[in-house]
């Protein structure tokens, strides 16, 4: 996921930090301005809760270009083939035992 922060719009309210299920965000303060920052980008689930809750449209989340997302995806077909293989193996073991 790509997480973009618009620092000029962020008021450091912390709503996104409190509601992020992945613990991706935190609030930093440079002495004059509190602002959100991304601390654990790899844990982003892409739920966009942060985007929806932000009162100032200061955070944006979008998918990384194809192939850059780190989450592993198992296709339904691969799952079906594996499951069928397992059932077949169990049937063979059951009947020839
Ligand atoms: S999209 Fe979800 S997981 Fe990612 S930073 Fe926003 S609230 Fe956290
Ligand atoms: S909810 Fe928006 S304004 Fe508040 S800290 Fe997060 S990004 Fe900044």
Q: What is the CATH number of the domain that holds 57?
A: 3.30.70.20
Going from the Cα of 50 to the center of ligand 1, the distance in angstroms, rounded, reads 6
Contact 9, 57 (CB under 8 A): yes
Å from CA of 84 to ligand 2 middle = 48
- What is the average per-residue pLDDT within 70-87? 79
Decide if pLDDT at 68 tops 90.
no
Alpha carbon separation from 13 to 18, 26, 58, 83, 97 (Å, rounded)? 10, 11, 11, 48, 66
Domain of residue 16, residue span: 1-65
C-beta 59 within 6 A of ligand 2: yes
CA angle 48/51/54 to nearest 5° reads 145
For 17-65, write each residue's pLDDT tens digit: 999 999 999 999 989 999 999 999 999 999 999 999 999 999 999 998 8
Residue 30 covered by a domain:
yes
pLDDT recorded at residue 69: 57
47 is a domain residue: yes
Coil, strand or helix at 2: strand
pTM of the complete model beyond 0.75? no
Q: What is the number of structural domains in the chain? A: 1
Place 78 in a pLDDT band, splitting at 50, 70 and 90: confident
């Amino acid at each position: 996921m790509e997480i973009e922060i618009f620092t000029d719009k962020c008021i450091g309210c912390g709503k996104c930090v409190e509601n992020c299920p992945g613990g991706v965000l935190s609030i930093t303060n440079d002495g004059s301005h509190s602002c959100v920052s991304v601390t654990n980008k790899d844990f982003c689930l892409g739920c966009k809760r942060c985007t929806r809750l932000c009162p100032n449209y200061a955070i944006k989340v979008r998918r990384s270009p194809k192939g850059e997302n780190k989450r592993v995806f198992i296709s339904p077909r691969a799952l079906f083939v594996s499951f069928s293989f397992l059932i077949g193996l169990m049937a063979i073991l059951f009947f020839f035992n």
